[in-house]
Structure 1
Amino acid sequence: MSKVFVFGSRSDRTTLQLISALSQSGHLADVISPSDFRNWKKILWDRERKHLVITSEESEVAVPEVDCIFNRFRARAWKSNSEQYEFDTATAPITSFLQGSSGFVVNRPHAGWSNFSKPLHYRVLENYGFLVPQHFVTTERQVAEHHLKYNGTWISKGISSYRTTATVVDRSDMFRFDYLHFAPALFQRRVLGHEVRLHMIGLEAIAVSIASPEPDYREQARRSPRSVRMELIEAPEEIVAKCLNYCYDNELYFCGFDFVVEDNKWWCLEANPSPAFDFFESFGPFGITEKILKFLISTSKGQQYNMSKHVKSTSFEPFIEASRVQNLTF
């Protein structure tokens, strides 16, 4: 029977949901969790044997490159620099293995890399034909005061891939603008409409429409789950095609696209390379977990998977693109 290795934390609910599904189907090989790193005595990527070998006092785990791997192995943020250095040093061979293995990895650490910088991410999304809301990043109070209006038309959100709460900008934020000098913020035009999360799983798309009274539906669901409603919808073919093109160029076999639909215009807010799909499954039987499970099992059996015949590549290189801009200064 084909097996799937899972790289991810046992304290992560998304990882746990997939582990449970793989276990119940009998397709779980093993779990490599970053929380276990203190118990690891040796980590070796044996390129000749094409195995990643993790040795502890109790056991030894060998992950062959030929097997299928689901990756949610995230870098942890430790309280002290010494702990961070210890973790980064210990897990470096794992990151290298996930990046360079000849096996099938969903997804590799570098896949969808532009998401780590939202301003760059928006530029990349635009290159694939997505509509992106007006936005700007600043560290200056004067710039924020000049551009922002306090009538509910702007929101503030994080710049990096770390999860933050999107909030509507109001006059009370004026008193915090001096902190921009120490912590730059991204301000984005608020698009009024219903939100859609579209999961791309291989060549298949699952779109879920989200109705929430607040701009951050995740935070709203935490406070009042019944106030958030979700339902399956059919996404337009041209939107799915753009998502597929993006996934192909960025080596994403699984990705979560966030949209806001306003007057039939699909505004793209993000392409998440490691989406927490379990959150959406708690609002209805949308079949996301089942699709992921089927996809992983089929690839672990060695079935050929090729996106290239379904897409039109629009690969984007930001540094080359920057060189084309006239009067560019650094």
Structure 2
Amino acid sequence: MILFFGRTDDPPLARAIRAAQEADHRHLVIDQARLARYDLVVGTGALDGLLTVEGMRVPLDDVSAVYARPLELPDGGDPAARARAAAFQEWFVAWLDTTPAAVVSRPSAMESNSSKPYQAQLIGRSGFVVPETLVSDDTDEILEFRAQHGRIVYKSVSGIRSIVREFTEADESRVHLVRGLPTQFQAYVPGQDVRVHVVGEHTYAAAVDSDAIDYRYADQGGESARLAPLDLPPDTARRCVDLAASLGLPLAGIDLRRTPDGEWVCFEVNPMPAYSYYESHTGLPISTALVEYLDGHRAATPSRG
């Protein structure tokens, strides 16, 4: 059985559930908005247990594959129900790291994105070029880095989503505000953005045409982003698959930029990508591929490289 965990109003999870329904795969949905209604009886073994979900009793060892997108629990409601839901989620997320089922993706594997500088080192080891980077809260270092590279961008060093922005003259006048808050600065890389979704051994690439520094938020600046499917060079596709595998990620969103001279630069790897945005704009069958991975590779256990 395939187990889906998350919020059913979350587009990536909803698309995967729909793909499982259309393929008639046996599956079960655990909705984060209803966790207080579910029950768990832990057995004598470390991984034994019985889930009760919407009146259905499911032994944990009947779960062969999991797609989990644990988001924040809904606010409000009865305090006792919230506490019950939080306890269930805490147990479930811990179970994802121990179950022999195939998991997309294990929490321990996703931790590589908790520190972007650390992840950048792992990306560099995979053979991808990474931008020249400075992590600092020292104003002199930052201004020297900008003088060295001309155009630079900045973003958070953590795994929490942040908007990538270009460092401008206005930023120069307020750069002192970063003291005590180390920030990641990178040399600006010209070229075309390409988002690659890796699902197992397969890649699904989308080329992005946009004048925005961060195309995900192009509309906020009155700009646009146009996406289209892209055939990756075989060696680049293979490198993406190998990179995701080395991080223990059966599903990954890899952010690349193809420079004018044909070099492929990698910025980061998203371990829980919102692939639905790219699928809806390009028609790439990412949700179908994900569900087929879960069904066809349900006995696989991702390895850390």
- TM-score after normalising by structure 1: 0.79
Aligned residue identity for 2:268:
E
Match of 1:107 in 2: 105
One-letter amino acid matched to 1:205: T
Alignment of 1:43-192 (within 5 A): 43-46=40-43, 48=45, 50-55=47-52, 59=55, 61-62=57-58, 64-65=60-61, 66-74=63-71, 86=83, 89-149=87-147, 153-192=151-190
1:259 lines up with 2:256 in the alignment: yes
Contact kept? 1:259, 1:268, Cα under 8 Å: yes
| Identical residues among aligned pairs (%) | 23
**Matches for 1:239-278 after TM superposition, within 5 Å:** 239-262=236-259, 263-278=261-276
Q: Could you say what secondary structure the match of 1:105 adopts?
A: strand
Per-residue CA deviation, residues 62-81 of structure 1 (Å, 9 max, x unaligned), is 353342111212466989xx
TM-score (norm 2): 0.85
- Asked whether 1:228 is paired with 2:217, we answer no
How far did residue 23 of structure 1 move? 2.5
| Residues paired across the two proteins, number | 299
Q: Is the 8 A contact 2:51 2:60 kept in 1?
A: no
CA distance in 2: counterparts of 1:131 and 1:92, whole angstroms? 37
Higher relative contact order (CA 8 A, sep 6+): 2
Structure 2 match to 1:238: 235
Q: Which position in structure 2 is the counterpart of 1:193?
A: 191
Offset at residue 121 of structure 1 (A): 0.6
Verify the 8 A CA contact 2:250 2:302 in the aligned structure 1: no
1:30 to partner: Cα distance: 1.9
> Is the contact made by 1:207 and 1:233 (CA closer than 8 Å) also made in structure 2?
yes
Gaps of 5+ in 2: none
Question: Which residue does 2:203 correspond to in 1?
Answer: 205
Stretches of 4+ aligned residues off by more than 3 angstroms: 37-40, 42-56, 58-61, 74-79, 85-90, 149-152, 221-225, 305-308
SS at match of 1:111: helix
In the superposition, relative to structure 1, how do residues 20 and 200 fare at CA in structure 2: closer, same or farther (>3 Å)?
A: same
Distance of 1:115 and 1:288 partners within structure 2: 21
Give secondary structure in 2 for the equivalent of 1:148. helix
User: In 1, Cα distance between the equivalents of 2:17 and 2:221?
Assistant: 27
Query: What is the Cα-based RMSD across aligned positions, in Å?
Result: 3.1
Counterpart code for 1:219: Y
Provide the residue aligned with 1:326 in structure 2: none
Instruction: Give the deviation of 1:140 after TM superposition.
Output: 2.3
Q: Which runs of 5+ in 1 are unaligned?
A: 316-330
Deviation by residue 1:117-145 (Cα, 9 ceiling, x = unmatched): 00101011111111000111112223222
